[in-house]
Chain A
Amino acid sequence: MLTILKNRFEQGYRTCSYPKEKPAVFSRYRGKPVIQKTADPDMVNACADACPQDAIDVDQKKIDMGRCIFCGTCERLSKGEFVSFTNDFEISTAKKADLLTDGELPSLADHAKQHFKKLFGRSLQLRQVSAAGCNACEADLNVLATPFFDLARFGINFVASPRHADAIVVTGPVSRNMKTALLQTYEAVPEPRVVIAVGSCTLTGGPFSHSGEVAKGLDTILPVDLFIPGCPPHPLTNLHGLITFFK
């Protein structure tokens, strides 16, 4: 008993005060990319060639956060003169087209489906479906239930059955072998239902987009309401996406 109490005392109170205050993340974290439009075209081309995900649109001088895995190759190559990754983790979007960005993102809270806030703002139950995810996106969703993030304080929970859920949260590039199970899970969620896509694999196929075994983005299969980019998205990115979109 004494050990239990000693441990409880040592652990203390650990929940972050987000969204009131933004918790600090270590400096090497790569969040929202910001583009310098004045960059030398040769530099832009070099970055586009080097990008392992072919995520850079040379003509528009923009970066596709749906394809990007935030490896930072372009930032290092251009020494920040074309792309620099900020510490800003608030990068989710309500429209896929908005993922192609120069660093300016529309306000997520002002998305077109405001009725979701009335329906789900005080209680949102999520059913997670891993569809060929590498377990990184899954792990950083799971971690939202730990005391630091404490997702439940916002009335949001992961539940065990699609029948109990308002939304599905999909991770992974949707392999051929998981497609049927994913669609059945979606069908099992009562309407009105929400679809949330988490991670670059889910948004565009990510690093696996050249494989014939996976889909080229969840939106080719289901109507997606919320796009959360990253490889994997930082838990704070997930948290920001969920509470800003629904609350």
Chain B
Amino acid sequence: MTQFTTIPWGGRVQRADIPHLPFDTFRTQALDIVKNGGKVVQFFAYEDQGIMKFMAVLRTHELLAAGCDAPEMYPSLTQECEPFHLFEREIAEQYGIRPEGHPWPKMVRYHENFCSKPDVFNNDYTEDIPGNYDYYQVKGDEIHEVAVGPVHAGVIEPGHFRFNCIGERVLHLEIQLGYQHRGVETLLHTAKPKQLPILAENIAGDTTIGHGLCMAQAVEALASVPVDAGAKIIRTIALELERLANHIGDLGALCMDVAFLAPANYFGRIRGDFLNLSLLLCGNRFGKGLVRPGGVRFPLDDEIRKTLDERITELKPQVEHVLELIFSASTVRARFEGCGSVNTADADHLGLVGPAGRASGLAYDARRCFATEHYPHLLIPKNAKPTGDVDARARVRYDEVKQSIDIIQFLIGKSVETQPVEGGIAALQALAPSSLAVTLNEGWRGEVSHAVLTDDAGNILRYKVKDPSFHNWNGLAMALRDTGISDFPLNNKSFNLSYCGFDL
């Protein structure tokens, strides 16, 4: 019988009601839950009145939480159970707490820890470049390495990819990130109330609504601020518009990488049309400035609603026809099918989420499993695919594009009344003391989660952010095993993960 306690998602819990276990019990029980099919939503360290503590939030069909005092070093959980892998490395980097026996004790983002302890990785941070690290090497006469990045050939974010290859075949890909590190978590817990929503929206600009919603819901839970039904509908529309723009952009980019230029250009243009619909709602193509604690800053008045409806009605057949064009082309299928497969067992061990997880057979979707906003009233299909290849990752997007258009059309049909809010500052100044709120939302890349702990004065004690990319980068590395290096761009696009969301 687990001593972890069930907590609500998007709700407030008194910290006193979260079991504070002896470390050994915490470890055994966390392992037990995850080995039996549970997943890690959050696992982080924080400092409370001079004492280092751990907090774990796991998910089965419900959310489970427990904490413990953090030892100086401890037997790694990862050596028994892979989904803890990056979380333990992150804790080591942020707070200098060493997981003994961790199979891959490497820095995550390359920065000094938050509490001036000796560095776990023996890095010299006067050196500017992450990559001050011996990459994993395959030895052999015919092995060669390919190093790519941090500055890539396209207009994209920076990261370093190190391939160990035999001929064209990739034996191992190692991904080193951290170039985008801006100190987001430190900023979030020291920011003035008026700055905090802006910071949350800028964690990853392509997931503005996903992260903005997690922030707003956490503040609403901690300050007991109600949100009216109209605002929930507008937020749901905004999250689906974000999904549409990005999925359509990804499908276009995938076509570009298999040299099918016509649909690549059509979807490039149509993606912009969907970004413009976010601008129609709130004045910003990425939805920045729309979601705030307590609701939304902009109402959906009849004129805007009518324009939105007309544009979606106009775009829907175009989208469907381009989708048909892409997926009926034998040249596309020849490149997509069987390329970069991640099987269900590997995906499960890595803890993949979002479209990448669903493409590998993991049906989890926070919109269905931990529904918030208007999602409890919507039917979200499972969208899981068995093959785990580029084709599956593209087809999940195919399904979701069609569903998102339907969802938006359905929601536009509803009359939406909402009382617009401004900055949500009153809510941010009235957080309940000694509490925890954990929020989950299905962004277009998968599960976005924020966990906010307050101290006994109601100040933010720890603000923990997790972008879905934190789970999924190792999925890309796994997909490249035994794949031709020339298929890297295609696989990379099929995951299209966030660098800044990971690097924070």
Q: Is the CB of B129 within 8 A of A29?
A: no
Residue among B208, B272, B423 having the largest count of chain A Cβ atoms under 10 Å: B272
Q: Is the CB of B263 within 8 A of A7?
A: yes
Stretch at the interface among A32-40, A58-66, A94-102, A172-180: A172-180
Min distance, Cβ A59 to any Cβ of chain B, angstroms: 21
Residues on B with C-beta less than 8 A from A133 are 157, 180, 205, 500
12 A/B residue pairs, CB under 8 Å, sorted by A: A26-B280, A50-B423, A130-B158, A131-B158, A134-B203, A139-B249, A175-B181, A176-B111, A177-B180, A179-B128, A208-B184, A210-B187
B356 interface contact, C-beta 8 A: no
Interface residues of B in 265-300 (CB under 8 A from A): 265-266, 268-269, 271-272, 275-276, 279-286, 288-289, 297-298
Pick from B155, B249, B282: contact of A128, CB under 8 Å: B155
Pick from A28, A177, A231: contact of B130, CB under 8 Å: A177
Interface string of A67-93 (1 = CB under 8 A from B): 001111100110000000000000000
Interface string of B169-185 (1 = CB under 8 A from A): 00000000011111110
Q: Is the CB of A146 within 8 A of B180?
A: no
Pick from B110, B202, B276, B281: contact of A177, CB under 8 Å: B110
Pick from A3, A50, A158, A179: contact of B328, CB under 8 Å: A3
Q: Is the CB of A138 within 8 A of B156?
A: yes
B186 interface contact, C-beta 8 A: yes
Stretch at the interface among B67-75, B192-200, B212-220, B451-459: B192-200
Min distance, Cβ B83 to any Cβ of chain A, angstroms: 26
Q: Is the CB of B288 within 8 A of A177?
A: no
B109 to chain A: closest residue by CB: A177
Given contacts A134-B202, A207-B199, contact A7 B268 (CB under 8 A): no
Interface string of B408-445 (1 = CB under 8 A from A): 00000000000000110000000000000000000000
B153 interface contact, C-beta 8 A: yes
Stretch at the interface among A8-16, A103-111, A113-121, A216-224: A8-16
Residues on A with C-beta less than 8 A from B325 are 3-4, 7
B298 to chain A: closest residue by CB: A28
Q: Is the CB of A138 within 8 A of B157?
A: yes
CA distance in complex: A214, B317 (Å): 45
Interface residues of B in 241-264 (CB under 8 A from A): 249, 262-263
B348 interface contact, C-beta 8 A: no
Q: Is the CB of B204 within 8 A of A135?
A: yes
Residue among B157, B194, B268, B324 having the largest count of chain A Cβ atoms under 10 Å: B157
Pick from A141, A142, A147, A208: contact of B182, CB under 8 Å: A208
Min distance, Cβ A31 to any Cβ of chain B, angstroms: 9
Residues on A with C-beta less than 8 A from B206 are 134-136, 139
A46 interface contact, C-beta 8 A: no
The number of A-B residue pairs with CB atoms under 8 Å apart is: 207
Residues on B with C-beta less than 8 A from A232 are 205, 285-286
Q: Is the CB of A4 within 8 A of B262?
A: yes
Min distance, Cβ B65 to any Cβ of chain A, angstroms: 29
B157 to chain A: closest residue by CB: A130
B31 interface contact, C-beta 8 A: no
CA distance in complex: A11, B262 (Å): 10
Q: Is the CB of A132 within 8 A of B182?
A: yes
Residue among A133, A135, A208 having the largest count of chain B Cβ atoms under 10 Å: A135
CA distance in complex: A210, B154 (Å): 29
B139 interface contact, C-beta 8 A: no
CA distance in complex: A35, B191 (Å): 28
CA distance in complex: A4, B423 (Å): 48
B21 interface contact, C-beta 8 A: no
Pick from B265, B275, B423: contact of A73, CB under 8 Å: B423
Residues on A with C-beta less than 8 A from B262 are 4, 7-8
Please tell me the size bucket of the interface on B.
35 or more
Min distance, Cβ B350 to any Cβ of chain A, angstroms: 23
A192 interface contact, C-beta 8 A: no
Residues on A with C-beta less than 8 A from B304 are 28
Residue among A14, A162, A178, A231 having the largest count of chain B Cβ atoms under 10 Å: A178
B425 to chain A: closest residue by CB: A50
Residues on B with C-beta less than 8 A from A175 are 179-182, 503
Residues on A with C-beta less than 8 A from B289 are 69, 71-72
Q: Is the CB of B280 within 8 A of A146?
A: no
Q: Is the CB of B318 within 8 A of A28?
A: no
Residues on A with C-beta less than 8 A from B197 are 52
Q: Is the CB of B155 within 8 A of A138?
A: yes
B328 to chain A: closest residue by CB: A3
B321 interface contact, C-beta 8 A: yes
Pick from A69, A158, A178, A201: contact of B155, CB under 8 Å: A158
Pick from A4, A30, A235: contact of B272, CB under 8 Å: A235
Interface string of A177-215 (1 = CB under 8 A from B): 111110001000000000000000100001110111110
Closest 5 CB pairs of A and B: A136-B205, A134-B205, A146-B268, A160-B153, A28-B283
B178 to chain A: closest residue by CB: A177
Q: Is the CB of A214 within 8 A of B205?
A: no
CA distance in complex: A145, B156 (Å): 14
Q: Is the CB of B422 within 8 A of A135?
A: no
Q: Is the CB of A10 within 8 A of B318?
A: yes
B344 interface contact, C-beta 8 A: no
Q: Is the CB of A234 within 8 A of B423?
A: no
Given contacts A7-B266, A135-B500, A146-B269, contact A178 B180 (CB under 8 A): yes
Q: Is the CB of B423 within 8 A of A143?
A: no
Interface string of B134-157 (1 = CB under 8 A from A): 000000000000000011011111
CA distance in complex: A207, B205 (Å): 12
B322 interface contact, C-beta 8 A: yes
A140 to chain B: closest residue by CB: B285
CA distance in complex: A125, B155 (Å): 13
